[in-house]
Amino acid sequence: MEIVLNNGMKIPALGIGTYRVKPDDCERTVTAALKAGYRLVDTANVYLNERAVGRALKASGVPRGEVIVTSKLWPTDYKEAKAEKAIDATLARLGIDYIDLLLLHQEYGDGESAWKAMERAVDSGKVRALGVSNFGPPRLTAFLKACRIKPVVNQVECHPYFQETALRTLMDEHGIKLESWFPLGSGNRGLLQEPILAAMAEKYHKSTVQIVIRWHLQEGFIVIPGTKSPDHARENLNVFDFELTDEEMDGIRKLDKNTPFFRPFVPLHRFQCMHVPIPFDRQK
């Protein structure tokens, strides 16, 4: 299943996330995921596992042109000149000639300045598409006024307990796709044991995890569940042989509590995003 982005690029609707996955686990899991059929891999400068993703790309034997590789710039590199250097450093760590999708990781800082460097990277062929991550409606609205190249995605926390309905309305107006991180609510037991999900899992002979992933796909989201387990990665991919009914989709929509599990939008996090140096180039 593929989704067409607003620049015409096609992207798999289901990928493998690497947030909080250590380099050794990351290399092993991403290699196995690519061999199992994944063609979308999501990493970031701040995850400190880009080199591991690069090694996995080579070890998998999958042709580079078949894999969509995503990474993200951290706010410490949001000034135009710093962003230009950060893009080259990201390419070097990944060991590839181009990045398919490059995102601004947080809404804080001078993202407009960094975006100019990112747009030039698209012009030069270093990057194929641009996006943002963790941009709420006010910041996204202001940001779009300064863009020559429009974001193709906004990667945000999204799951049945936090469905981002207001943000989705704004994004739909601009043809920006939602990409779900924490799509399983960070494995929240309460969510994954919801009776309505358990009933669907029994009906379709699936796990509640697979039911939630299927819900994301049918909502039209790009979904990137993270795992350090190759077995879990393979199980997450096994969601294309059934389809939820309209009534079942509506039932899951009613679980929305408008409550995120991760809260990046606080003053301390904003300060850390913008000012604390992170040793990106010391990763294994």
Answer whether residue 202 is part of any domain.
yes
User: Which residue stretches of the chain are H helix?
Assistant: 23-36, 50-60, 80-94, 111-124, 137-144, 165-173, 189-192, 195-204, 208-219, 230-237, 246-253, 267-275
Is 47 marked active-site?
A: yes
Please give the structure tokens belonging to residue 49: 């596992």
Q: Read off the CATH number of the domain in which 61 is found.
A: 3.20.20.100
- Residue type at position 85: K
Q: Residue 152: what pLDDT?
A: 98
* Vertex 86: Cα angle to 142 and 143 (nearest 5): 5
Number of domains in the chain: 1
Answer whether residue 67 is part of any domain.
yes
**Cβ-contact 105, 46 below 8 angstroms:** yes
List the catalytic residue out of 38, 47, 78, 161.
47
Length reported for the chain: 284
Answer whether residue 281 is part of any domain.
no
Answer whether residue 283 is part of any domain.
no
Q: Residue 281: what pLDDT?
A: 75
**Cβ-contact 36, 237 below 8 angstroms:** yes
Could you state, in chain order, the average pLDDT of each consecutive group of 10 residues for the chain (284 residues)?
97 96 95 97 96 97 97 95 97 98 95 98 98 96 96 97 96 98 88 97 98 98 94 95 98 95 59 65 73
Answer whether residue 216 is part of any domain.
yes
The domain of 48 spans 2-276
Answer whether residue 282 is part of any domain.
no
Answer whether residue 129 is part of any domain.
yes
For the beta carbon of residue 266, count every other beta carbon within 10 angstroms: 9
Q: Residue 259: what pLDDT?
A: 87
Answer whether residue 141 is part of any domain.
yes
